[in-house]
Amino acid sequence: MATAAFDPGGLTARLTLEAPVDTPDGQGGTSRTWSAVANLWARIEPVTAAVGEEAGGGRVTITHAIWMRHRSDVAAGMRLVKGARVFVVEMVHDPDESGRYLLCRCREEGR
């Protein structure tokens, strides 16, 4: 398998990796908060933007490919934060199985 052609100098976005923390709310449900796991450097590449309708209003869904150095603690359901921007991690994989980089497919919230 060929290795991913990737310039590590492209990791210019400073992101915070966050994991969900569910706390019982005392009435059978949970309350979700987010806990910072690590700060890391990454490369953010916009992939798609789609316009749809939800509850009678417009909704734009923007997806991104986010590259970072390999970490064993990144999983779907976590999120990456850059300032006010929030990227929900939907899929994580090692693009060339070399253990050097991770490629996360993410959906941006709040756009």
Instruction: State residue 4's pLDDT score.
Output: 65
**pLDDT score for 111:** 62
For strand 79-82 and strand 85-93, is the pairing parallel, antiparallel, or unpaired? Answer: antiparallel
Q: What is the model's pLDDT at position 52? A: 75
**pTM, rounded to two decimals:** 0.85
The predicted pLDDT at position 84 comes to 94
Tell me the sheet residues that pair with 17: 38, 80
Rounded Cα gap, residues 108 and 76, in angstroms: 14
Please count the other Cβ atoms lying within 10 Å of the Cβ belonging to residue 74. 19
Report how far residue 29's alpha carbon sits from residue 19's, in angstroms, rounded to the nearest whole number.
19
- The rounded distance, in Å, linking the Cα atoms of 89 and 78 is 6
Residue-wise pLDDT tens for the chain (111 aa)?
Answer: 566 666 778 899 999 999 999 999 889 899 999 999 999 999 999 999 888 766 666 778 899 999 999 999 999 999 999 999 999 999 999 998 889 999 999 999 876
Q: What is the pLDDT of residue 7?
A: 77
Residue 97 token pair:
């199985």
Residue 9: phi, psi to the nearest 5? Answer: -70, -10
Per-residue pLDDT at 9: 83
